[in-house]
Amino acid sequence: MHPLTNNPMEKRPLILIANDDGYQAKGINCLVDMLHDMGDIVVCAPEGPRSGFACAFSATTPLTLTCRERRPGVEIWSSNGTPVDCVKLALSEILHGRKPDIVIGGINHGDNASVNTHYSGTMGVTLEGCMKYIPSVAFSLCTHAADADFEPMRPYIRRFTHVVLEKGLPKGVCLNINFPVVVSPGEKREERGLTAVEGDYHGVKVCRMAAGTWGNEITRCHHPRGYDYYWMVGSYQNDEPEAEGTDNWALTHGYIAITPTRIDVTAYDAMEQLNTQLGIDNDKDLSPL
C-alpha cells in the first residue's frame, strides 16, 4: 500500500486534476485510476476537447459547472469553459478555498514538449496551479490516439506525484512531463517524428525545452457555398535535433522528459543589451521620436 495511505490518522492529500481533452477522455480517467489511493481526487475538466487552448480563460462567456460523478474519494465535474477556467472554478466553487496539495494536468493525448508548451491547455492547467502557488505537474503521452495505452506510465506517474506531494516544488516552477509511447519489442511506430520506444522507457531525464517550429499550419478548403475556409494543422520541426539536453531529444531516444517550467518568463540575459539598444539609462527619460 502507498505510504501516504498507510496511516489512517494522516489527512489524505487533495489532488486537483484537469485536462484539455475533456472529462470523458481516456487519459484523465486513467490518471484518476492511477492516483485514487494516494489522496482525495477532484476532477474538473472541459465538457469536450479543448486542445490548443493554452492559458485562455473565458472573459465574456457565462460558465457552467456540472457534477458528473461522486464516489468515495473521487468527484468528477465538467464545465463549458477552458482548461484554465476549470482550475479557477474548482478552486473557488468546488473546493471553496481548501487548497489542493497538487494540481495535475493530463494525462494529455499528445506531446507537450518544446514550443507546444505555449499552446497546450494541459500546460495551461499546470501553469494556473503554479500561479496560485500550488505544486503543479503536467503529464502527456506522445500520441493523439483516443485509445492510447497509458499503463506503462503508471509507476512513474505515481512516483512523480508522490515526490511532489512529499517535497513540493520550487516557488514559481511547475513540471512539464512527457512520455514516449512504449510498444512491444519488434513493433515499430512513429507519430509526428517521435519514434516509439520498444519494451520499456530507457530512463528519465530532466530537460530543457527544445527550440522548434511549426510550419505548414493552414489548410485552405473550399466551401460548397463558394467561399474559402481554413483548418489549423501543421508539422513540427525540431530546430536542434542533435541537442542532447532537450525534451525532444529525450523523447526521441526513449526517455521520459521532465522539463521544469517557470512562470517568470523574463529574459534576464537580454535586459542589459536592451537598455543599450533602446538608449535607455534607467534613471533618465528616453527621448521620444
Residues within window 69-108 making contact with its own copies, judged by CB under 8 A: 81-82, 84-85, 88-89, 92-93
> Which residues in 80-118 are b (16+ Cβ under 10 Å) and which e?
bbbbbbbbbbbbeebbeeeebbbbbbbbbbbbbbbbbbe
Nearest to 165 by CA among 16, 28, 42: 16
User: How many other CB atoms are found less than 10 A from the CB of residue 119?
Assistant: 17
Q: How far is the CB of 184 from its own copies (least distance, A)?
A: 19
Q: Cβ closer to its own copies: 145 or 213?
A: 213
Pairing of strands 218-222, 228-232: antiparallel
Considering only 12, 33, 56, 196, the residue that binds its own copies (CB under 8 A) is 56
> Which residues in 138-164 are b (16+ Cβ under 10 Å) and which e?
bbbbbbeeeebebebbeebbeebbbeb
Considering only 99, 151, 190, 275, the residue that binds its own copies (CB under 8 A) is 275
**Those residues with Cβ within 8 angstroms of residue 151's Cβ, 6 or more apart along the chain or in another chain:** 30
Kindly indicate which of the ranges 98-106, 178-186, 187-195, 263-271 contains the residues binding its own copies, using the contact rule CB under 8 A: 263-271
Separation CA 217–CA 52 (nearest Å): 13
Check the CA dihedral 35-133-245-54 and report its sign: positive
Q: Cβ closer to its own copies: 9 or 265?
A: 265
Q: Which residues from 203-262 bind its own copies, rule CB under 8 A?
A: 203-209, 211, 213-214, 217-218, 220-221, 227-232, 256, 258-262
Q: How far is the CB of 258 from its own copies (least distance, A)?
A: 7
Q: How far is the CB of 254 from its own copies (least distance, A)?
A: 11
Separation CA 154–CA 152 (nearest Å): 6
CB 79 within 8 A of CB 44: yes
70: three-class secondary structure by DSSP? strand
Q: How far is the CB of 174 from its own copies (least distance, A)?
A: 8
Q: Which residues from 105-124 bind its own copies, rule CB under 8 A?
A: 115, 117-119, 121, 124
Considering only 1, 60, 72, 147, the residue that binds its own copies (CB under 8 A) is 60
CB 106 within 8 A of CB 45: no
Q: How far is the CB of 77 from its own copies (least distance, A)?
A: 12
Residue window 8-47: x/- pattern of binding to its own copies, with contact defined by CB under 8 A: ----------------------------------------
CB 51 within 8 A of CB 86: no
Q: Which residues from 127-186 bind its own copies, rule CB under 8 A?
A: 127, 131-133, 154-156, 158-160, 162-163, 167, 169-170, 172-173, 175
Q: Cβ closer to its own copies: 70 or 118?
A: 118
Interface with its own copies includes 67 (CB under 8 A)? Answer: no
Kindly indicate which of the ranges 10-18, 23-31, 99-107, 266-274 contains the residues binding its own copies, using the contact rule CB under 8 A: 266-274
